[in-house]
Amino acid sequence: AEVGRVAYLRALDVVYDRDFIAKGLDFTIGEARVRYRAPLRFDEEYDIKVRVGEIRHSSWAFEYAIDRADGVHCAEASTIQVMIDRSTGRATRIPGPLRQLLEREAAHAS
């Protein structure tokens, strides 16, 4: 899911240093879940589909579908990202521009 999450954010033109660090923000993974359907093996190629799930005040979900390159569905996963203030380490609201981007993506996914 990590690789999929990073690639997805890059595809949305989210730049970690510019959009988080420079603004005194960061995010952490507050929860991660995986339901395996078939083995995932090291050094195999996978197709990871990512979509935005629920968006809350200071957190949002990513949902993943992980398939092997041969098309076999291997897993569903989800992560909850929690926006944090770097100076306090406490949860903080998702900034407006990021929230709008996530909401737009969530609308496209439905």
Quick one: pLDDT at residue 109?
Answer: 76
**Cα–Cα distance, 93 to 8 (Å, whole number):** 21
Q: Do 73 and 37 form a contact (C-beta atoms < 8 A)?
A: yes
Quick one: pLDDT at residue 1?
Answer: 75
Q: Which residue has the tokens 């090291």?
A: 42
Looking at the domain covering 2-109, what would its CATH class be? alpha beta
Q: What's this model's pTM, rounded to 2 decimal places?
A: 0.89
Quick one: pLDDT at residue 2?
Answer: 81
Annotated domain spans of the chain: 2-109
55 CB-side CA count, 13 A: 16
